[in-house]
Amino acid sequence: MMKHLQATTTLHNGTAMPWFGLGVFKVEEGAELENAVAAAIKHGYRSIDTAAIYGNEAGVGRGIALGLRQAGIERSELFVTSKVWNADLGYESTLAAYETSLNKLGLDYLDLYLIHWPVEGKFQEAWRALEALYEQGRVKAIGVSNFQTHHLDTLMAAAKIKPMVNQVEYHPRLTQTELTSYCKQHGIQLEAWSPLMQGQLLENPLLLEIAASYHKTAAQIILRWDLQNGVVTIPKSTKEARIAANADIFDFELSSEHMEQISGLNENARVGPDPDNFDF
């Protein structure tokens, strides 16, 4: 199923999406960002995730160009995601935001474009714009981020195309079991942001104990747990050694007992905003 870093899941429209990728949240423009993206591509990563609000699409684009040159691969081998920000949620404004993201990234198309947050009363029009971009062949797949089940219900009630992906905060302290089964049932691929809970789980005694038994790190154990739960994951790092280490999770499998123990850490605890209660 997931035997190597380029392994993919097939979205409901037939698009292949890598199980594993690099996130760049809170990484500022500059050489560090560009080198991190290029290093990820060099180490075999084929998925890069950014967003308009991160303010780093131009740097990500330069890192992609550098990485493609160094690895000697084509753009078509990469899976690039960006997201439309809340201020741009509307039909025309979302279409314009897509063009802006493409221009900054220096790309002709995105593989995945997401609505970043479920702003009540605004995401439906934005979704119409994403459907238009998809139908015009401008983007390979469309989806949402931070949507709870009721947001998805509202969206799909009026949608022509159901989302292919829902990217949410997901880690052993926030296992999102109801949302996970809802997405499985509807053929929507779940994707984890902040899979390592922004580093808060790396000293967890249970995870360290499990890690020792596999000769792996706590981070590697968590990321492997994501994949075995059928969740795409995009850990963030800017350090080449960490980028390589995070991806070194395809040579072992967690036992079902360990999978259950890790899931048992759930406390419904978030490090990010609550999708039912945010004001931005």
Neighbour tally for 241: CB within 10 Å: 9
Query: Strand pairing partners for 49?
Result: 23, 81
Dihedral in degrees, nearest 10, Cα atoms 87, 95, 29, 107: 170
Q: HSE of 133 in the Cβ direction (CA atoms, 13 Å)?
A: 31
Alpha helices per DSSP H over the chain = 31-42, 57-71, 91-105, 123-135, 149-158, 177-186, 205-214, 218-228, 240-246, 256-263
C-beta of residue 31 within 8 angstroms of C-beta of residue 60: no
Cα R_g (the chain), whole angstroms: 18
With contact defined as beta carbons under 8 Å apart, do 236 and 22 qualify? yes
Place of tokens 């947050």: 117
Question: CB burial class (10 A; 0-12, 13-18, 19+) of residue 6?
Answer: middle
**133 vs 94: CA distance, rounded Å:** 10
Q: Indicate which residue of 54, 113, 134, 182 is catalytic.
A: 54
Q: Would residue 91 show up in a list of annotated catalytic residues for this protein?
A: no
Catalytic site residues? Answer: 54
